Amino acid sequence: MLDQNIRSNVIYWMNLLVTILLFPILLWVSVIRWLFVRNPEATVRGEVAVVTGGAQGLGRRLATELARRGCHIAVVDILEHKAQETAEYLKKTFKIKSKAYKVDITDHQKLVEFHAQVTKDFGDITLLINNAGIVYFSDSTPRDFEEIQKIITVNFTSQVWINQLFLPRMKALNRGFIMSVSSLSGLFNTAQLQIYGPAKGAVRSYMASLRMDLNQYSGINVTTIMPTYMTTHQPTEQIVNSSGLGKLAPVLDGDFVAKEAVDAMLQGVDELTLPRQCIVGFKLQEFLSAWMRDKIMLFLHPKIDLNSQKKLK
């Protein structure tokens, strides 16, 4: 037993030493790749994209960016009328095929039915844009089970379900793009995003695992987008501006985020924070102790009046 413990300790310290010696080299390789390596932008003309939450906000803007490049769009949203408006706008403006689908993405069976229908309507789906989300501020105050479950399912679980439905065909084709919209809230923990933040953090973690799992499929690209607050949802923008959150991170224009996101996806970028420089802050904070990170975020992050947001239905 003693020899085994000694051997385990020796292996641990040897691995640690190798990691410390290699870290500067790996860091420089990562920085150089991040700054200078850009793959040529892929074309999506004639391909078909599924865009969740595509009726309005960032989803509509992402659908518009893809349609501008000649991509056909399946607009998925619980808001049927607005989804139909978006689909009609895309068809008339960009002369592409587009159709609206009313789908409750928190219902797995509805997603299964949607998968069958959209495949019948369009054929092979080679782009998945997992955009649908609910920004919701919350602290440790007890909340209804249904409310918590809805935030987690919309922001995270539904993305897993959708990917698993469409991935088998993408693997068979060895072709496709998967984009998931996470959030800077998934990188930087705050006291009043106790459900939304971890759900978005789970998106990033899941997409990293998926990216490694799909490494053998050279034609499938996986991209995670992590933006700050945007101008795409007026109630959230009002909370951000009234609380002073907008001073901590700029409220970004939705059109700008959509273009940056689609460009990154088509260039094969793995992860993108918006603003881009926020990734530096995240990397630096990982060198700090949890105690120090907490103190900094409590100092920087203003208090939000949680009663100023509408209840989830």
- Residue 143 is encoded by which pair of tokens? 């909340």
Task: Report the candidate in 159, 107, 103 with the shortest Cα–Cα distance to residue 131.
Answer: 159
pLDDT score at 237: 67
User: 299: pLDDT confidence band, cut at 50, 70 and 90?
Assistant: confident
| 277 has a pLDDT exceeding 90 | no
Sign of CA pseudo-dihedral 238, 193, 228, 42: negative
What lies within 8 Å, CB to CB, of 142 at 6+ separation is: none
Distance CA 102, CA 109 (A): 13
Distance CA 201, CA 190 (A): 12
Task: Report the candidate in 310, 141, 184, 180 with the shortest Cα–Cα distance to residue 238.
Answer: 310
Distance CA 77, CA 7 (A): 57
What lies within 8 Å, CB to CB, of 310 at 6+ separation is: 235
- H/E element holding 101? strand 98-102
User: 157: pLDDT confidence band, cut at 50, 70 and 90?
Assistant: very high
Contact between residue 228 and residue 249 where contact means Cβ atoms under 8 Å apart: yes
Third-level CATH fold of 45-311: Rossmann fold (3.40.50)
User: 5: pLDDT confidence band, cut at 50, 70 and 90?
Assistant: confident
Higher pLDDT, 3 or 256: 256
User: 154: pLDDT confidence band, cut at 50, 70 and 90?
Assistant: very high
Site of tokens 């945007």 = 230
Angle at alpha carbon of residue 104, lines to 113 and 79, rounded to 5°: 120
pLDDT mean across residues, the chain: 88
